[in-house]
Chain A
Amino acid sequence: MDRHYWKGGPAAAFTSIVALALTGCAAASGATGPETAAAPAASDASSEPYASTYERYPGVPTALVGATIYDGAGGRIENGVVLFANGEVVGVGDSSLTIPDGYLEIDGTGRFVTPGIIDIHSHLGDYPSPSVPAHADGNEATSPTTPEVWAEHSVWPQDPGFSRALANGGITSLMILPGSANLMGGRTVTLKNVPSRTVQGMKFPGAPYSMKMACGENPKRVYGGRGRMPSTRMGNFAVNRETWMEAQAWMERDNPSRDLAMETLAGVLDGEIGIQNHCYRADEMALVLDMADEFGYQVSAFHHAVEAYKIADILAEHDVCAAVWADWYGFKMEAYDAIPENAALLHNAGACVVIHSDDENGIQRLNQEAAKAQADGIRMGFDISDADVIGWITLNAARAMGIDEMTGSLEEGKMADIVLWNGDPLSVYSRPEMVWIDGALMYDMNNPLMRPVSDFELGQPGEGDVK
C-alpha cells in the first residue's frame, strides 16, 4: 500500500536534453555555436544518449473491414475500413473506401477498432513484478529533488506487466515515470509496448522527455519524516522555487560544466521537456500553475488530479490536461475529495481529460475505467460521446505526452498502433482481439504463440497461460 502513496505520475515533451540544455545556455549567454560544440558535453550532444534502437517489426498491408471505428480524435464510423501498411495508417473511412490490392483483409464485423491505448502514467519496469524490494527502482528517495535521474535507467524490460498491458489492455504506448517521493523525481521515458531485451529497444523514437514533479503529501512526508526540508507544503514550494532559480542561474553561465540535474531543468525551462505533475488538490494545482508562470514553463498534465473538477475552468484556460483515475478515492488525505464524476466534469468544462492507471492491474483496463467515468457523467446529465471517451485514453494522452503528431489517433500517416476489440471497448465484456504496433501484429487473442512471455516467466508455473 505504501508504494501507492509514493507513486505519482505524469507525462510530456522532448528528446536530446543535452543538446537542449546547451542551446538554452548558449541563447541566454550569447555564446556562439562553436564554443558550445567544443564543450565537454558537445560530444555527447552530437548523438542522443541512450537513444532508441526500436525499429518496427515486420507487418503486412492490412485492411480491417466492417468494424465500428473510434478514431481517437472524436470520430466514429460504423461499418468502417482501416487500412495500414509499412507501419503507417494509410486510410480510414466508411465501407466505400477502396481496399488496395495486396492487403490482408480482416473481418471486423461486430467488432470495434480504436487507436492503440496509451497510458500516461505507468511504473511498469521501474516497479516491476514480482514486487520485491530488490525491484523497487521507482523512487530515488534520497533527496527531495532528483532531476538528474532518468526513469529509463530503472526500467526492467522483462517486467511481465508489459505483456498483460498489451493483451488485456491493448496498450501500445506508455510513459514510465519516476515515483512521487520527490518534488522533482527525474525524467520520464515513453515506450512502445514491445517486448525487448533492452529498454532502448522499447523507447518511443522521437518522443520528447518529461520531468516528473510531485505536490503535496508525499515529498513532505518522506523528507519531513527524516527531519529535513521539505516538511510542509510551503516547504515543497520553497524547495521547488529555489531549484528553478538555480537552474536559471546555471543557464546564464558561460560554458557551464555538465550537470545532469540542470540539463533536465533547463530543458523544461526551454520548453523542450514537459512537466508531468503529480498533484491531487485543486488549490495546489493552482499554485503550481503560478509557479510555472513565475519560471516560464508549461505543465503538460496534472496526474492523480482528483480535485481537478474544482478548477476545471482554470485547467481549460491554461490548456493543461488532467490525468485521473475513474473512481479511486480515500486512500490518503489529499484523495478525500475524489469523486467519480471528476473526468466528466472536466470534459464538460472543455478541459483535457486523460484516464491513467498508475497501476500494473489498472493499466489492463483503462477502457473500462474510461467507460465508468463516462457513465457517471451521463448520469449527471452530460452528453459525452463514446468517441470522445476513447480519446481520453488515446489522443489526449498522446497530446500530454507530446507524441500526438505520431500516434494516438487513426489518421493517415500516423503510426499504425491499432487495437481490434472483440466487442465494444467501453463494455466490461470486451477484450483486445488483435493489437498492432507500427503495423506489426504483436498480440492475437486467437493465437497462443502471439502472447509474449517474459524471461522471468519461463519454466515457472503458469508460463504462457492465458492471463
Chain B
Amino acid sequence: MKRLLTFAASAIALAASPLAAQDIAITGATVATGDGSDPIENATVVVRGGRVVAAGAGVQVPAGIPVLDGTGAWVTPGIFASITNIGLEDVGAVSASNDIDADDSPFSAALDVAPAINPQAQDFSYSRAGGVTRASVTPGAGSSIFAGQGAIIDLGADFDAVREARAFQMVEMGERGARLAGGSRTSSHALLRNALREAADLDDVGRLRTVTDNGRVRSGDDLSIDPRLAGRAEREGDVLLSRFDAAALVPALRGEQQLYVRVERASDILAAIALREEFPSLDMVIVGATEGWMVADRIAASGIPVIAAALRDLPASFEQLAATQSNVGRMVDAGVTVAIAQYDSSGEHPRNLPQMAGNLVGINNVPGHTGLTWGEAFAAITSVPARIAGHANEGVLRNGAHGDLVLWDGDPLEVSSAPVRVWIDGVEQPLENHQTRLRERYRTLDESQLPPAYRR
C-alpha cells in the first residue's frame, strides 16, 4: 500500500482558488460506483477534466493519462454527508466559534448558512480526510421552528465551498419544533401553516410590482434571490413573520427550494406527509424518521425521500419509542428512498458515516433484523443523499459525474479502513490537518534536545 501514499500535501493553507484538475486513471482496484451495485474487482476508473469518464471492469485507459496502480485498494466516489454542520463551528461548546444555532436572532426562515461557512474549520479537513467530499450543511433551529436555509458544499481545500446556496429550508416539526413553537405540536403546525400562507400572500406577483422595482436579483447560481429581499420593508396585515422570513419561504412554498421537515414519530411523519394536501407544491424531504418503519408503505406512496439515522435503537424520547437499527432497511425494502446521516453524540461526525453504513450490512446476519446490502449501504452515504439533494452527478462514479474519488486501503465500510488519497472534481486534496500534525509531533516524546514545540 505504500506506493499509494505518494501524495505529499505541502501546505495546509487553502488555495486562494481551486487547484487544477488532473487527469488520472486508477487501475486494478476494487471499485464501488455508489449506485447501489456490488463492488467490482480489478476495475478501472478514469477521470478527465474533473469529470468521471468511465468506471468499471474492462475500461480502456486513454493514451497519455497518468495511471495509478490501485491493486489492493478500493476506489469509490466521495461520501456525501447530509445534514451536517461542517464549516459552521470550530468548537461546539465555544459559542463564539459556533454558528449553528441562532438562538437570539430576530430571524428564522431567512437565516442562510452560505455566508457563514468556513472552509478552514478543522471539521472540514477532518471530514475530507475521512473521505467526505460533498455535504449538505444545515443551520440548527434556535428560536423558531424554521432553522433557516441550508447549502450544498464541496470539501475541496479552497474557499469556494458553497456549490448551492439556499438549497433547502429546514423546519422542526417534532418534539423540538413543538417546544420552539410555544409548547405544543398544535402550535408548530399552526405556525407552519401560517408562515406558508404569509409567504403565499407575499408571492402575489401583481402586488410585488407595486412594492419593488428591483427586478431579479442575481445570486450567481440557479436560484434567484426573491426581489422582495432587496425591496422595501413594509407590508400590510396581521403577520407573525418578519417580511424577510416570509419572503425566504416563498421558494419553498413554490417547490423551488426543498423543505426539510424533521420528524421522528410515526404519527408526526404522517402529519408531515399530509401537509402536501394543503400545499401541493412543497418539495419535501423527511429528516429523522426514527419510527419510519412503522409507516414505511405510506412514506413510499408519498414519494418523499428520507434522511435517517442508521443506528438509533433506544427510546431516547417519546417520539422515538420504536427505534430500531432495522428502520432504514425496512423503509428501503418498502420502496422509500433513504439516505443515512447521524451525528447524535459528541463523537459522531460525518467521517463516521461509513461505519454506520457498515453496521447496517452487519445486522443482516442477525435473525429478525433487516439491513442493507453492501451496495445499498454504500449508496445510502453517496449517490442516494446526493440525489435527494438534487445533485445526481455527485456521489457516484459514472460518465459525466463529478470527479470525486476516494482511494481506500480496504473495504470503505470496514472500521479498519481509511482513505489514502482523495480527489474532488479531479483535484487531489491535501489530507493533512491539525490532528495529523499533532500525531506526528507526538510520535516521539523525546525532548532531550528541544521541547516538542520545535517539532514541525
User: Are A and B associated in one complex?
Assistant: yes
Enumerate chain A interface residues (CB-CB to B < 8 A): 1, 4-5, 129-132, 160-161, 164, 168, 217, 309-313, 325, 327-333, 335-341, 345, 349, 359-362, 364-365, 368, 371-372, 374-376, 378-380, 422-423, 426-431, 445-446, 448, 456-457, 460-462, 465-467
List 12 additional A-B contacts (Cβ < 8 Å) besides A364-B313, A368-B415, A448-B367: A1-B346, A130-B316, A331-B93, A332-B92, A337-B434, A339-B438, A360-B316, A379-B418, A422-B365, A429-B414, A461-B294, A466-B363
Of the 9-residue stretches B11-19, B222-230, B323-331, which lies at the interface with chain A?
B323-331
Whole-angstrom CA separation of A291 from B295 in the bound complex:
57
Q: CA–CA, A380 to B5, complex, Å? A: 12
Chain A's closest residue to B309 (CB) is A361
- Listed by A's residue number, 12 A-B pairs whose Cβ atoms lie within 8 Å are A1-B346, A168-B313, A329-B347, A331-B91, A332-B92, A339-B435, A427-B416, A428-B414, A431-B366, A445-B367, A457-B321, A467-B324
A331 and B346 form a contact (CB under 8 A): yes
A464 to chain B, nearest CB (A): 10
Complex interface: chain A residues within 8 A of B294 (CB): 461
A462 cross-chain contacts in B, Cβ below 8 A = 291, 315, 321-324
Closest to A375 in B: B416
**Assuming the A-B contacts A332-B91, A361-B345, A375-B415, are A160 and B362 also in contact, with contact meaning beta carbons closer than 8 angstroms in the complex?**
no
Distance in angstroms from A313 CB to nearest chain B CB is 5
Which residues of A lie under 8 Å from residue B414 when comparing CB positions? 427-429
Q: Which of A338, A372, A445 contacts B366 (CB 8 A)?
A: A445
**Shortest Cβ-Cβ A-B pairs, 5 listed:** A328-B347, A462-B322, A428-B358, A461-B322, A331-B346
Q: Is the beta-carbon distance between B413 and A330 smaller than 8 angstroms?
A: no
Chain A residues whose C-beta falls within 8 Å of the C-beta of B312 in the assembled complex: 361
A427–B93 Cα distance when bound, in Å, is 33
Q: Indicate if B355 sits at the interface (CB-CB under 8 A).
A: yes
Query: Which residues of chain A are near B349, meaning CB under 8 Å?
Result: 327, 329-330
Q: What's the minimum C-beta distance from B405 to chain A, rounded to whole angstroms? A: 20
Neighbouring A residues of B454 by C-beta, 8 Å: none
Contact partner, A130, options B315, B351, B355, Cβ 8 Å: B315
In angstroms, how far is the closest chain A Cβ from the Cβ of B91? 5
Q: Are B438 and A428 in contact (CB under 8 A)?
A: no
Interface-lining segment among B145-153, B298-306, B439-447: B439-447
Residue contact B438 to A361, C-beta cutoff 8 Å: no
Partner of B322, one of A130, A327, A379, A465: A465
Shortest Cβ distance from A369 into B: residue: B415
Closest chain-B Cβ to A127's Cβ sits at a distance in Å of 11
- Which positions in B face A, CB cutoff 8 Å? 90-94, 122-123, 126, 266, 291, 294, 311-318, 320-326, 344-347, 349, 351-352, 355, 358-359, 361-363, 365-369, 409, 413-418, 434-435, 438-439, 442-443, 445, 452
Residues in chain B near residue A340, CB distance under 8 A: 435
Contact B317 A130 (CB under 8 A): yes
User: Are B92 and A429 interface neighbours, CB within 8 A?
Assistant: no
Given A328-B347, A330-B91, also A428-B314 (CB < 8 A): no
Measured between C-beta atoms, what is the minimum distance from A72 to chain B in Å? 20
Q: A327-B347, A359-B345, A465-B322 are in contact. Are A380 and B443 (CB under 8 A)?
A: yes
Residues of chain B within 8 A of A5, CB atoms compared: 93, 346
Nearest-neighbor residue (CB-CB) of A327 within chain B: B347
- Tell whether A426 pairs with B416 under 8 Å between CB atoms, given A160-B315, A456-B315: yes
Can you name the residue of chain A whose Cβ is closest to the Cβ of B291? A461
In the complex, are the beta carbons of B366 and A428 less than 8 A apart? no
Contact call B316/A129, Cβ cutoff below 8 A? yes
CA distance A312 to B291 in the complex (A): 45
User: Are B94's CB and A333's CB within 8 A?
Assistant: yes
Q: Contact: A328 with B346, CB < 8 Å?
A: yes
Report the bound CA distance from A448 to B434 in whole Å: 47
User: A461–B265 Cα gap in the complex (Å)?
Assistant: 10
A329 near B443 (CB under 8 angstroms)? no
Q: Which residue in chain A gives the minimum CB-CB distance to B414?
A: A428
Residues of chain B with a CB closer than 8 A to A4's CB: 345-346
Q: A130-B317, A331-B93, A429-B361 are in contact. Are A310 and B416 (CB under 8 A)?
A: no
Q: When A130-B316, A429-B361 are in contact, do A368 and B355 touch as well, CB less than 8 Å?
A: yes
Task: Using CB atoms, name the residue of chain B closest to A427.
Answer: B414
Task: For the complex formed, measure the closest distance between the CB of B126 and the CB atoms of chain A, giving whole angstroms.
Answer: 7
Rounded to whole angstroms, the CA-CA distance of A257 and B438 in the bound complex is 51
Q: A309-B442, A429-B358, A445-B367 are in contact. Are A130 and B318 (CB under 8 A)?
A: yes
Q: Tell me how far the C-beta of B349 lies from the nearest C-beta in chain A, rounded to whole angstroms.
A: 8
State whether A375 and B417 are in contact (beta carbons under 8 Å apart), knowing that A330-B92, A337-B438 are contacts in the complex.
Answer: yes
Please state if A466 and B369 are interface contacts (CB–CB under 8 Å).
yes
Cβ–Cβ < 8 Å partners of B291 in chain A = 461-462
Decide: B123 and A330 in contact? CB cutoff 8 A.
yes
B363 / chain A contacts, CB cutoff of 8 Å: 431, 466
Q: Which residues of B are found within 8 Å of A336, using beta-carbon distances?
A: 91, 434
- Tell me which of B93, B346, B442 has the highest count of chain A C-beta atoms within 10 A of its own C-beta: B346
**With A362-B347, A431-B362, A431-B366 in contact, do A333 and B415 touch (Cβ < 8 Å)?**
no
**B-chain residues with CB within 8 Å of residue A365 when the two chains form the complex:** 359
Q: Which residue of chain A lies nearest to B347 when distances are taken between CB atoms in the complex?
A: A328
Check A371 against B445 for contact (C-beta < 8 Å). Answer: no
| Interface residue from A330, A431, A448 paired with B365 (Cβ < 8 Å) | A431
Partner of B314, one of A1, A160, A328: A160
Which of B367, B416, B418, B439 sits near A339, CB closer than 8 Å? B439
Task: Return chain A residues, CB-CB under 8 Å to B90.
Answer: 330
Q: How far is the CA of A428 from the CA of B368 in the complex (A)?
A: 18
* Assembly CA distance A13 to B365 (angstroms): 39
The listed residue (A132, A345, A361) touching B442 by CB distance below 8 A is A345
CB closest residue in chain A, given B93? A332
Residues of A within 8 A of B439 (CB): 339, 341, 345, 380
